[in-house]
A and B are shown apart, each in its own frame.
Chain A
């Protein structure tokens, strides 16, 4: 497709610790279709997503990877997708008559690793009066933006990968399921029931031995804490390492499903876009 942007087509440029991904997605009225997918692996340690401090440990390597993926997609209308691990996330019930964004800022400000004034706060509607609140340090956002712009992308939007994935799960309106949305360094566990988010956990990943079983246990605990406790709730994984974790779990969790997206695009955010 080269560098020509078709009407209704947008390029999503995502960075995570293991790779840089660019996806051209054409949006219809209610549908989204993947047109082009480009991926460049990153050397370990080149990019380390975190809520504070510099994330681009090896700027030259990240810049080169960005340049290579952008050669294969349109650069005009780019949405930058930030990796999980940068933001503080929380599922909050907003009181009536209160601005949701300000309420989230108030609730999250005490736990931020930077001054609240330096936080960029936004919300995702999660059903009813609930919202997923997210707070990111402006300096971190700017670091990713500048890297993408320096590589030739015309950045129009900056999304957060776990929120894109969660929006897709909510949009799909599936019945009752606990989803694990995996990033390279952090993960989100979301309990979705009837198109609404009823439980959410977010933490950094522990890739040491036994991660798969620990994750499965955590998904069950979320189900027990947020749901009605009955068995048979679907467990689903998407994102980085999902196929490997599922293989590790094997027959221990027969109800576990993984993303059915085409080869190489198992990222949770991409699945959310295409829901």
Chain B
């Protein structure tokens, strides 16, 4: 339809028809809804980004811990912690196992290898030596007892290897 010239002097605020006004209102409403949805989506994206950063940090921390554990396992897998088995306690336990005719000259504790003990012992005779081995093997915290080569002259001198366990 041909546009009819309009000579109105007042501001043209209400020139639309009812349908046009309804369409404009619907357009404005749709734009408002779209803006709100865009705002919500942007907020959700921001929250998801923050959560992703948090998870990424957790993954990095877990990777570090995993790497440490793997290194620990590669180093022996059975490492004994000094806090679980302090040297004074191991020495005290070993001392209670020594028969009267046996003396402990040296004790080495290797925590990296699962609490391996290396004991240089001197027994006055073979009976005392045998009694020492028997007590070691029966001791609840001493495992894998391996007597070393014996030097027998007037006395028995040897190195005994064993592993001390924190759990009886």
Interface residues of A (CB under 8 A from B): 7-8, 82, 120, 122-125, 134, 136, 138, 141-142, 145, 155-160, 163-164, 167, 170-171
Nearest residue, chain A, Cβ from B15: A156
Nearest residue, chain B, Cβ from A157: B6
Task: Please tell me which one of the listed residues B1, B2, B8, B19 contacts residue A157 in the complex, with CB atoms under 8 A apart.
Answer: B8
Q: Known: A145-B10, A155-B10. Is A8-B17 also a contact (CB below 8 A)?
A: yes
Q: Which residues of A contact B8 (CB under 8 A)?
A: 141, 145, 155-158
Q: Known: A8-B17, A156-B14, A157-B15. Is A122-B5 also a contact (CB below 8 A)?
A: yes
Q: Known: A7-B18, A156-B14, A157-B15. Is A120-B7 also a contact (CB below 8 A)?
A: yes
Nearest residue, chain B, Cβ from A125: B2
Q: Confirm or deny: B3 has a beta carbon within 8 angstroms of a beta carbon on chain A.
A: yes
* A159 touching B5, Cβ below 8 Å: yes
* A159 touching B2, Cβ below 8 Å: no
| B1-51 at interface with A (beta carbon < 8 Å) | 1-10, 14-15, 17-19
* A171 touching B6, Cβ below 8 Å: no
Cα A164 to Cα B14 with chains together (Å): 20
Q: Known: A7-B18, A8-B17, A157-B15. Is A163-B4 also a contact (CB below 8 A)?
A: yes
Cα A210 to Cα B7 with chains together (Å): 35
Task: Please tell me which one of the listed residues B2, B5, B9, B14 contacts residue A170 in the complex, with CB atoms under 8 A apart.
Answer: B2
Total count of chain B residues near the partner, CB < 8 A: 15
* A159 touching B7, Cβ below 8 Å: yes
Cα A8 to Cα B60 with chains together (Å): 68
Task: Please tell me which one of the listed residues A7, A141, A156, A171 contacts residue B7 in the complex, with CB atoms under 8 A apart.
Answer: A141
Q: Known: A7-B18, A8-B18. Is A159-B6 also a contact (CB below 8 A)?
A: yes
* A159 touching B10, Cβ below 8 Å: no
Q: Which residues of A contact B19 (CB under 8 A)?
A: 7-8
Cα A7 to Cα B22 with chains together (Å): 11
* A122 touching B7, Cβ below 8 Å: yes
Nearest residue, chain A, Cβ from B3: A125
Cα A157 to Cα B6 with chains together (Å): 6
Q: Known: A145-B9, A156-B15. Is A171-B4 also a contact (CB below 8 A)?
A: no
* A158 touching B7, Cβ below 8 Å: yes
Cα A158 to Cα B12 with chains together (Å): 11
Q: How far is the CB of B16 from chain A (nearest CB, A)?
A: 9
Q: How far is the CB of B22 from chain A (nearest CB, A)?
A: 9
Known: A124-B3, A160-B5. 5 other contacts (CB 8 A): A8-B17, A125-B3, A141-B8, A155-B10, A163-B5
**Which of the listed residues B4, B5, B9 has the most CB atoms from chain A within 10 Å of its own CB?**
B5
Task: Please tell me which one of the listed residues A120, A141, A164 contacts residue B4 in the complex, with CB atoms under 8 A apart.
Answer: A164
Cα A158 to Cα B2 with chains together (Å): 16
Q: How far is the CB of B135 from chain A (nearest CB, A)?
A: 110
Q: Known: A125-B3, A167-B2. Is A120-B9 also a contact (CB below 8 A)?
A: yes
Q: How far is the CB of A143 from chain B (nearest CB, A)?
A: 10
